[in-house]
Amino acid sequence: MKRETSSIPPNALTLPVAKRDHIQGPIDAPIMLVEYGDYECPYCGEAYPIIKAIQERLGDRLCFAFRNFPLVNSHPHAQHAAEAAEAAGAQGKFWEMHDLLFENQEALDDEDIAEYASTLGLDVRRLIDEVLAGAHTARVREDFRSGARGGVNGTPTLFINGVRHEGGPDALLAALIERGL
Amino acid sequence: MNKEAKIEQRHLESHKSTALPAGAAAPDFSLKSTPDQTVSLGEFRGQPVVLAFYPADWSPVCGDQMSLYNEMLAEFHELGADFLGISVDGAWCHAAFSRDRKLHFPLLADFEPKGAVARLYGVYREADGTTERALFVINAKGVIHWSYVSPVGVNPGADGILSALEELQNRQEVK
């Protein structure tokens, strides 16, 4: 069958937020915000406090999920940082590590990561072993693929209730208000 | 030029996409990928190949687009495809851009005569002197399976390419 020059499918979240995800807030909240991000990406670093402020403002009306989209050729530490956050998640402290990584974007080599794990009271040896063994590589790749199939072309990309947010993080609150959320 | 011809011309100008559609044979070409190496489309016969035209090295959206494809190379390869970027920039410019972005696929220089290959594919932008942001997925027999022209300022992402390559793979499995 021949096809005409066709359109790109709509930019919608391909993988619904589910148990696999790291979320903050009730999963049945009226507003679901999903970020595809990279811990070494400066624009994600800029989005980080903006999202925090929105979370504070909206409270239980917002559920926030973070998925990995490391651009590893541009950001040499992004892959290990993503896997370290997942490894911290395996010890129950995903968000604590997520926050520390974004708050220390300039220091993300393996030694820095070990230090953050120690600061958080994690089993440092286990975390580093998991990162070096690639225990969370597949999970990070799954996040990445789901993004690439859903219109994530760079970072950060945000989805509001499954629909890609076209403005930058600065315009996020306005977009939520405009949509009556 | 009479009035009707003018209207017709305006219509043609506004009728944007002249890109070769699915089903068309992909015109062969031979272009420099580095100052001393050339790449021909014919070399890829027998496997799918993705041809991504982009307006220019260094401009921000292209950078993101090519960086994204760089990250997706493993997926393209898993689907049996090779990937080629192509713009009107020269081979030395490509070399610097590629090194800066750590790109792991060839960038072809459609440089002399400028945009000749882009014209063959119907994606040269006369007014700008650059190419459209256009994607072609070419099958193992050298026929265009899917093509797409994105607005110049919009990164078309990888989704359409992946879908087209999956279709090709599924078709092969059915055979």
Is the CB of A66 inside 8 Å of chain B's CB atoms? no
Is B62 a catalytic site residue? yes
Nearest to A153 among B23, B70, B157 (CB): B157
Q: Which domains does chain B have, with CATH numbers?
A: 32-174 (3.40.30.10)
How is chain A split among helix, strand and coil, in percent rounded to 5?
Answer: 45, 15, 40
pLDDT of A2 reads 36
Answer for the pair A8, B148: CB distance below 8 angstroms, yes or no. yes
pLDDT of B3 reads 55
Distance from CA of A131 to the nearest CA of B (A): 20
pLDDT of B79 reads 95
User: Which residue is closest to A155 within chain B, CA to CA?
Assistant: B64
pLDDT of A89 reads 98
Q: Supply the DSSP symbol for A75.
A: -
Instruction: Give the residue ranges of chain B where pLDDT is below 70.
Output: 1-16, 61-63, 174-175
d(CA A1, CA B106): 31
Chain A residues in contact with B163 (beta carbon < 8 A) = 9
| Residue B48 CA: distances (Å) to CA of B122, B136, B142 | 20, 10, 8
Chain A residues in contact with B71 (beta carbon < 8 A) = 71-73, 144, 148
pLDDT of B149 reads 95
Instruction: Give the residue ranges of chain A where pLDDT is below 50.
Output: 1-9
Encode pLDDT of B99-126 as tens digits.
Answer: 999 999 999 999 999 999 999 999 999 9
| Residue B168 CA: distances (Å) to CA of B6, B146, B161 | 42, 10, 11
State the CATH class of domain A22-178: alpha beta
State whether ipTM is beyond 0.90.
Answer: no
Is the CB of A74 inside 8 Å of chain B's CB atoms? yes
